[in-house]
Amino acid sequence: MSKPYVFITRKISEEVLTPLNQIADVQMWNSESEAVPREVLLQEGKKADALLTMLSDSVDEELLNVASNLKVVANLAVGYDNIDLETAARNDVIVCNTPDVLTETTADLAFGLMLSAARRLAEAHLFVKEGQWQSWSPYLLAGADVHHKTIGIVGMGSIGTAVARRAKGFGMEILYHNRSRHDEAEKELGAVYKSFDELLELSDFVVCLTPLTEETKNLFDEDAFKRMKASAIFINVGRGQVVDEGALIHALEQKEIAGAGLDVFYKEPIGADHPLLKFPQVVALPHIGSASVETRTTMMELCRDNIIAVLEGRAAKSVVGR
Ligand code: DGY
């Protein structure tokens, strides 16, 4: 009997793949930095029993409908908005993601981005690097304090809760908005539930960690930014399309908010000419929320284990959409 065929859409650790190689014929798109071209993905999809995909690959109806052998899609991300779950379910394709293993790493990044935007770390680094440092001066690159301020977390899932734990250590007042109340965060961290509008009005730092869904698309619109304090800093480590970028640019231009730290964008990757990059008070990162070597390796291992489980007829560890 021939081995099942697994296609991986980006170059990942060979070492991680060793157990998968024993049960399957595994091929991968041999580039770490360039996404697999669409036509290659469609061709490979036609043959594959399993796909290991990136959040930048669109696993849509077209792909799922030509993938007649496909049993499992393991997405190297906790988010799965790049996958058409309805068609996957209709075609009996199991979709897996990588929850939990990236929680603390992504929370570190969210908190680091908040510190960086507030204390102007990226600007200060450039200042030194470009040889502009002439003397110590009292208000040189003076930013805003983070400790003992109010953080408003939109999307209190496991990453939101991990950010709240960090905020507690900084003596911050913690507000949150979520689809449902989070008893544990309320009891253990003193987090206070607020309506979306109240949270925007009261927070010094508004941290967006919500997944992208029909309901959250463009959630942060002109009205949302207008409600924020003029001193507020907006942080997005969720998904870019949760923010109306035109509205964010307008809010920064009009000084309706003081700054932003962004790990995600409406359409990724962005170029150096993106209008958000003209603001010195914006810190921009290339979607690296979960990008520590340890965590990315663990995410790859989880994807691998999910694929092996499905191909061997066992239950996968982390299944979505079922
Ligand atoms: C995810 O896993 O969805 C993150 O955005 C990756 O950094």
Digit-by-digit pLDDT tens for the chain (322 residues) are: 799 999 999 999 999 999 999 999 999 999 999 999 999 999 999 999 999 999 999 999 999 999 999 999 999 999 999 999 999 999 999 999 999 999 999 999 999 999 999 999 999 999 999 999 999 999 999 999 999 999 999 999 999 999 999 999 999 999 999 999 999 999 999 999 999 999 999 999 999 999 999 999 999 999 999 999 999 999 999 999 999 999 999 999 999 999 999 999 999 999 999 999 999 999 999 999 999 999 999 999 999 999 999 999 999 999 997 5
- How far is CA 177 from its chain centroid? 18
Mutate to test the pocket of ligand 1, among 55, 95, 264, 292 (most ligand atoms within 8 A of CB): 55
Q: What angle is formed at CA 264 by the lines to CA 290 and CA 157, rounded to 5 degrees? A: 60
Strands 5-8 and 25-28: parallel
The closest-lying atom of ligand 1 relative to the alpha carbon of residue 98 is 2
Cβ-contact 226, 112 below 8 angstroms: no
Q: Is 237 in the pocket of ligand 1 (CB under 6 A)?
A: no
CATH of domain 5-100+293-320: 3.40.50.720
CATH class of 103-284: alpha beta
Kindly indicate whether the ipTM for this predicted assembly is greater than 0.90, answering yes or no: yes
Domain boundaries along the sequence of the chain:
5-100+293-320, 103-284
Bridge partners, 283 (sequence order): 261
